Amino acid sequence: MRAGTARRAGRPDDGEASECVGSELFRELARMVAALAEIQGLRSFALPYPGFAQSALDRTVMHCLDVGETPPRSLPELWEWCRTRPAGDPLFAVPASLVTPGTTLVHPVGRMPTRSCLEVASRGREGGVAAHARALLGDLEARCGTGERYRQCRRFLAHHPVVHQQDRFGLDWSKAVWSRVKDLYGPLPESLLVDGVFLRCPSCGLPALPRDGAVPVPGPTAADADIWCEGEECSRDTPPQLIREPDQTWILRRSLRMFLALPHRTEEAARDALDRAGIDHEALSGPLSAYRLRDTGPGTVDIHVYDRLQPALLAEHLTDSAPLADRTLVVVPDALAGRDGYREVFTKALPALLRDRLPLTTPMELVPDLGRARREEKDDA
Ligand SMILES: [Zn+2]
């Protein structure tokens, strides 16, 4: 407990050290929430707690004692803290330049890990949840052999975060693809069922849950605020789809739902924009969604597609993951890039040397931005 020692010794870096400890604790809790959510039905709330959860609880208790707060008494209470205490809470004091202050790790309506939680849990060298998605895709690519076979499987996963028995009789069903990807799916966890029914968001295709724990009745839609979906940002014209045979349904691993299926619509929009402009591109392996553009002149130009709510963490990830092309356009959904402060926080979080090499763009702006970059290069030459 370095902060505590510093405080007791009355050293001037008290505030800063405490802020670091709070941020570090927030990150450990994000990893704990992500890992607990993987445990079927969250049964691990019963004693004895899994080792990682016990150690996160112990660390929270120590930090509370250090800063003079009443500590949580149990894991359920700590989980509730993660639902109600945001990043900017004095207990964590995560800088606003790193994580949006109102961010909680557990969603207030869905009571599941938030997207931001999984992004925080993906920070650092080991890469957490996002690295898990990359590793799964890397294995799949190694098993698939040829490029086209892998691309078919990847496309299937992105389009089918949830697979129902009936899908297997559809026209676009491929037995060969399913046999290669089925081990990336599992049964629906109880925590995603409401009265034995599974809800799917009609917009992002990911799991949904109602606030009050009751199956929404068909007809006029429950208010959006009363339904959580894993995509979190969806506006829905129609109510969630109800799947009444959950035992005939399989769900893609969470890391792939979040870091492959969710950004997929943005990835397709970006590729469509390139195709319409006649710009050739080839997929790169390694990052989750990356392409190298062809015929771009003397320098290499890549595009990387992301759908991340936390711009500073995205900048941090890009800074840490080498190698980069001469220029890498970072494509995010239009709605995110248009959000107050998103671009500014992203750019500010990049090292000054990388700012020109990593411009943020959107599927709509991608082609005009490429044209502008080419003209600048010509002017420089
Ligand atoms: Zn959704």
Q: Using 50, 70 and 90 to split pLDDT, how confident is the model at 375? A: confident
Phi, psi of 51 (to 5 degrees): -50, -45
Between the CA of 253 and the centroid of ligand 1 the distance, in Å, is: 17
Between the CA of 228 and the centroid of ligand 1 the distance, in Å, is: 8
For residue 18, the model assigns a pLDDT of: 58
For residue 324, the model assigns a pLDDT of: 75
Backbone dihedral region for residue 278 (phi beyond 0: left; psi -120 to 50: alpha; all else: beta): left
Between the CA of 204 and the centroid of ligand 1 the distance, in Å, is: 4
Between the CA of 162 and the centroid of ligand 1 the distance, in Å, is: 13
For residue 140, the model assigns a pLDDT of: 96
Between the CA of 160 and the centroid of ligand 1 the distance, in Å, is: 14
Q: Using 50, 70 and 90 to split pLDDT, how confident is the model at 348? A: very high
Write out the H or E segment, with its range, that includes residue 291: strand 290-293
Q: What is the pLDDT of residues 263-318, one digit of tens each?
A: 999 999 999 999 999 999 999 887 889 999 997 777 899 999 999 999 999 999 99
Between the CA of 35 and the centroid of ligand 1 the distance, in Å, is: 22
- 311: nearest Cα among 360, 261, 365: 360
| Average of per-residue pLDDT across 172-188 | 94
DSSP state of 245: -
Between the CA of 174 and the centroid of ligand 1 the distance, in Å, is: 26
Between the CA of 215 and the centroid of ligand 1 the distance, in Å, is: 17
For residue 8, the model assigns a pLDDT of: 37
* Secondary structure of residue 309 in the 3-state scheme: coil
| Average of per-residue pLDDT across 16-29 | 84
Between the CA of 202 and the centroid of ligand 1 the distance, in Å, is: 7
DSSP characters for 335-375? HHHTSTTHHHHHHHHS-GGGTTTS-EE-TTTHHHHHHHHHH
Between the CA of 292 and the centroid of ligand 1 the distance, in Å, is: 30
Q: Comparing 332 with 17, which gets the higher pLDDT?
A: 332
Between the CA of 236 and the centroid of ligand 1 the distance, in Å, is: 8
- 120: nearest Cα among 29, 206, 56, 233: 29
- 21: nearest Cα among 100, 93, 122, 121: 93
DSSP characters for 91-157? TT---TTTS-TT--SB-TTT-SB-HHHHHHTT-STT-HHHHHHHHHHHHHHHHH-SHHHHHHHHHHH
Between the CA of 304 and the centroid of ligand 1 the distance, in Å, is: 22
Between the CA of 378 and the centroid of ligand 1 the distance, in Å, is: 43
Residue 65 to residue 307: CA distance in whole angstroms: 38
* Secondary structure of residue 55 in the 3-state scheme: helix
Count of H-run helices and E-run strands, the chain: 14, 13
Residue 1 has pLDDT above 70, yes or no: no
For residue 127, the model assigns a pLDDT of: 79
- 3-state class percentages of the chain: helix first, strand second, coil last, to nearest 5: 50, 10, 40
Between the CA of 234 and the centroid of ligand 1 the distance, in Å, is: 5
Residue pair 129/254 in contact (Cβ under 8 Å)? The answer is yes
Between the CA of 43 and the centroid of ligand 1 the distance, in Å, is: 26
Token digits of residue 338: 């248009």
Residue 61 has pLDDT above 70, yes or no: yes
Residue 185 has pLDDT above 90, yes or no: yes
Q: CA 349, 350, 352 angle in degrees (round to 5)?
A: 120
Between the CA of 47 and the centroid of ligand 1 the distance, in Å, is: 34
For residue 376, the model assigns a pLDDT of: 76
Phi, psi of 31 (to 5 degrees): -65, -40
Using CA atoms, how far residue 32 sits from 118, 333, 370, in Å, is 10, 28, 41
Q: What is the pLDDT of residues 131-164, one digit of tens each?
A: 999 999 999 999 998 789 999 999 999 999 999 9
Q: What is the pLDDT of residues 323-332, one digit of tens each?
A: 678 999 999 9
Strand 360-361 versus strand 327-331 pairing type: parallel
Between the CA of 230 and the centroid of ligand 1 the distance, in Å, is: 6
Between the CA of 208 and the centroid of ligand 1 the distance, in Å, is: 7
For residue 222, the model assigns a pLDDT of: 54
DSSP state of 226: G
Q: What is the pLDDT of residues 305-316, one digit of tens each?
A: 999 999 999 999
For residue 38, the model assigns a pLDDT of: 85
Between the CA of 165 and the centroid of ligand 1 the distance, in Å, is: 22
For residue 217, the model assigns a pLDDT of: 59
pTM of the entire predicted model = 0.90
Mean pLDDT of the chain: 88
For residue 13, the model assigns a pLDDT of: 46
| Average of per-residue pLDDT across 39-58 | 82
